[in-house]
Structures are given as C-alpha cells and as structure tokens.
Amino acid sequence: METWAESALVRLRNVSGRSGGARRLVVQLLGRQDCCLSAQEIHDRVHAGGARVGIASVYRALDGLDELGLVQRVDLGDGISRFERADPGGDHHHHLVCDDCGKVEPFEDPALEAAIVSVAGGRGYDVAAHDVVLRGACGDCRPAP
C-alpha cells in the first residue's frame, strides 16, 4: 500500500540524487491520505509527528512533486492550495465542497471523465490535468426536506 510513496521517493532521487528528511516525511504523509491537504496542514501534521520541518521545505517538496506529476494541486475556491497524490494508474477523483459546513468529500464519475476527454479532444487540447469542484449544500446541511 506504500507503493506511491516508494515510487515517488525513487523518482525524486533519480532527479536530484538526494532525498532528505523533509521530502521523505511529506511524501510519506501524502501517501497515507485519501484526500487533499493544504501546505499548512501538511506542515502541522509533520510537526505533530515530532519532526522539525520548515514550512518552506514543505512547499519545496510539493513543488518538486508537482513538477514530476506525482501530486495534483487542488483549488477548492478558498484561496488555499491543497495537494493530493496523483496515482499514475489513473485512479482519480474530484471534490464536493459544502458551503455551509466546509466538508470536503471526493467522488469519481466515469461519465464526467468521458465528457472531459471529449471536450479536450474537440478543442485540440492535450489535457494533462483537470480539476472539478462542486460547491453547494451537502445532505446534512441542506434545508430539511
């Protein structure tokens, strides 16, 4: 189950020749997450684990991972960048955000993916990444029926 983290570390080493402590901690944390985290959240959780990691190193690690396509940057519309691991296998989800309680939940939908591929092709684009965010009231926060 740690395959993403392992392969990410290997790829980082192939590029730079190193893989220091901060990067490894960030990669391992992201490998354990099911959904996106902000840089601040990553920093806090790594600190909670007892490590002395600077926020700048978190950003630098995320930047390197993003360049290699190992993480996907997710913008939920609140001005904060979040990151989650990008599975090379194509497993891949998007996000529902509740405007009331702030809850974020992932979803996948083949019809949505198909529509995106079709749009991209029709416009002559070679789409490398795509991001879908739905905002609204979740079942719990919606005015009771």
Partner DNA sequence: GTTCCTGCAAAATTTTTGCATCAGT
Partner DNA sequence: ACTGATGCAAAAATTTTGCAGGAAC
- HSE-up (13 A, CA, CB side) for residue 132: 16
- CA-to-CA distance for 72 and 95, rounded, in angstroms? 13
- CA-to-CA distance for 129 and 94, rounded, in angstroms? 12
Interacting residues with a copy of itself (CB under 8 A): 73, 75-77, 79, 81, 96, 98-99, 105, 107, 109, 111-112, 114-116, 118-120, 123-139, 142
Pattern of binders to DNA over 53-92, x per CB under 7 A?
A: xxxxx-xxx-xx--------------xxx-----------
Tokens of 24: 């490894």
Count of residues near DNA by CB under 7 A? 28
From DNA, a copy of itself, none, interface partner of 87 (C-beta below 5 to 8 A by class): none
**Cβ nearer to a copy of itself, comparing 28 with 97:** 97
**Cβ nearer to DNA, comparing 24 with 45:** 24
Please report whether residue 40 would count as binding DNA according to CB under 7 A: yes
Query: Which residues does 9 contact at the CB level (< 8 Å), separation at least 6?
Result: 19, 23, 24, 27
From a copy of itself, DNA, none, interface partner of 39 (C-beta below 5 to 8 A by class): DNA
Phi then psi for 37, rounded to 5 degrees?
-130, 150
